[in-house]
Amino acid sequence: MFKPLSLAGFALAFSATASMAATNITWWHGMAGRNGEVINEVAKKFNDAQSACAITPVSKGTYEEALASGIAAFRAGEQPNILQVFDAGAATIINAPGAVIAAEDLITQAGYTFDREAFIEGVRYFYAAPDGKFVGMPFNSSAPIMYVNTEALEKAGVEAPKTWEDFETIAPKLKEAGYLPLVQSQLTWQFTENFFSRHNIQFATNNNGYDSVVDTKINMTDPNLVMMFTKLKAWADEGYFGYYGAGWNDNQKLFEDGKAAFWIGSSGSFGGLQKTAQKPFSATFLPYWGSIQGAGTNTFIGGAALFAMSGKPEAENKCTADFFQFLTSPEVQKFYHEATGYVAITKAAYELAKSEGYYKEKPAAEVGIQQLMLKSGDWSKGYRLGFYPQIREIMEREYGRIFAGETTVEEALKTIETEANELLARFAKTAG
């Protein structure tokens, strides 16, 4: 009993002296479970690879909690060096001038060269300034893709759909074969934000909110979006689509149990799904409407990015830059991609995984990245809207009411537009 203890004590003392010489930086994140463990592994790899810097990752709960703690800490002057902020919170942090140092500036100031072109198309804009400068460093990036129950397809004798029109023709056959044809997990991300992206339709004025916060208006009453939700509701009534509330897992469960034929999930679900799915599955792109002109463009990234908080000493900023540099190296990206299912964000990492035959073994792992690399359009780069977490809550509420039969699609989308525009105007006042 004494030996391991004293050994541990020795190791502790040793690592303490080692990190005393090094510059310490902290990294607050909102990941839990397996994804949280992988973050610790990434940090350990960084600490082992060099001795000048030591990074300590700290889990702050969920994405929302991580952002709230980061904000509270910043106000108290106790901010971490690196804060992970999720997609919907991006506008909050990017619109706060002086809260963060742009990742690109940080990296170039540390003496590295920064090549935007090294990143794959779909991740380049979402966390960037209007001129393309990277403000946040994309980290865990995912795309909404369609998972396919291969057994269901065989039984019904159909192929996975490319478009929603295809889906409409095969849905009755799947239903006849005893399956629920379609489930999804997040109507806001998958059927709203990425609907605009996949069909190359403008989501909000002011260049989807990127150019300015002043007088930004959301385009929720777009006739195409009305059509999408009218169809979803009709499919739900006919038994082609199942809606089980706004919770992610309540909807995913039907696919895991093999009861649903298609599930719109996240490319980041891949790792978990391999363990929980009871039937063999594959994956394909998020379908689009062939009838909409110019549809079929790429989706933008979901997930989160890392932001370098301002107000830190030069030496620590250098370490943060080192860490960002380390994080985007092909080997680390490939490790993270394979361990979690989040997409590789650089072309080099993607090529590396490909050359090693990873996608031959697991073709479903490649779908997300391929979807992000599809041709992009003017409106497929994402959005930047303030108070967006609250706007999502309004959407969730109204979408729930549509499927509970408490309101009509037109009513619901109109309500969302009105309330969202009020919030956007309010945000413009706080940021202005």
Partner 1 sequence: MKRVQFSSPFLPYLFIAPQMAIIFVFFYWPSVQAIQSSFFLEDPFGFGSTFVGLSNYADALGSAQYQAIARFTVVFTALVTFLSLGIGMLLAVKADAVLKGSSTYKTLLIWVYAIAPPVAGLMGMMFFDQHIGPLVKFAALFGWDMKVGLNYYDTAFAMIAVSVWKQIPYNFIFILSGLQSIPVSVREAAAIDCRSGVRRFWTMTLPLLAPTAFFLLIINMTYALFDTFGVIDVMVKDKAANNPITLVYKVYMDGFRGNDLGGSSAQSVILMIVVFVLTIFQFRFIERRVHYN
Residue type, 344: A
- Considering the complex, state which of residue 362 and residue 397 has its C-beta at the smaller distance from partner 1: 397
Identify which range of 103-111, 191-199, 248-256, 342-350 contacts partner 1 by CB under 8 A. Answer: 248-256
**What's the closest the beta carbon of residue 94 comes to partner 1, in angstroms?**
11
Subset of residues 102 to 141 that bind partner 1, contact rule: CB under 8 A:
none
Position 174 contacts partner 1 (CB under 8 A): no
Residue 66 tokens, joined: 């991580």
Position 86 contacts partner 1 (CB under 8 A): no
Subset of residues 44 to 73 that bind partner 1, contact rule: CB under 8 A:
62, 64-65, 67-68, 71
Position 43 contacts partner 1 (CB under 8 A): no
398, 413, 416, 420: residue in contact with partner 1 (rule CB under 8 A): 398
Residue 321, CB half-sphere, CA atoms under 13 Å: how many? 21
Residue 203 tokens, joined: 């989501």
DSSP assignment of 259-307 equals -EEEEEEEGGGHHHHHHH-SS-EEEEPPPB-TTSTT---PPPPEEEEEE
Residue 118 tokens, joined: 């090294």
Contacts of 41 (CB under 8 A, 6+ apart): 339
Residue 229 tokens, joined: 């939700």
Neighbouring CB atoms inside 10 A of 202's CB total: 13
Position 98 contacts partner 1 (CB under 8 A): yes
The residue with tokens 């309101």 is 407
Position 36 contacts partner 1 (CB under 8 A): no
Position 11 contacts partner 1 (CB under 8 A): no
Position 157 contacts partner 1 (CB under 8 A): no
Q: How many residues line the site for partner 1 (CB under 8 A)? A: 42
**284 Rama class: left (phi>0) / alpha (psi -120 to 50) / beta:** beta
Distance separating alpha carbons of residues 84 and 339, to the nearest angstrom: 19
Distance separating alpha carbons of residues 225 and 218, to the nearest angstrom: 12
Identify which range of 237-245, 294-302, 355-363, 367-375 contacts partner 1 by CB under 8 A. Answer: 237-245
- Considering the complex, state which of residue 64 and residue 166 has its C-beta at the smaller distance from partner 1: 64
Position 396 contacts partner 1 (CB under 8 A): yes
Position 239 contacts partner 1 (CB under 8 A): no
Position 387 contacts partner 1 (CB under 8 A): yes
Task: Give the residues lining the site for partner 1 (CB under 8 A).
Answer: 62, 64-65, 67-68, 71, 74-75, 89, 92-93, 96-99, 243-247, 249-250, 253-254, 387, 389-390, 393, 396-401, 403-404, 406, 419, 426, 429-431
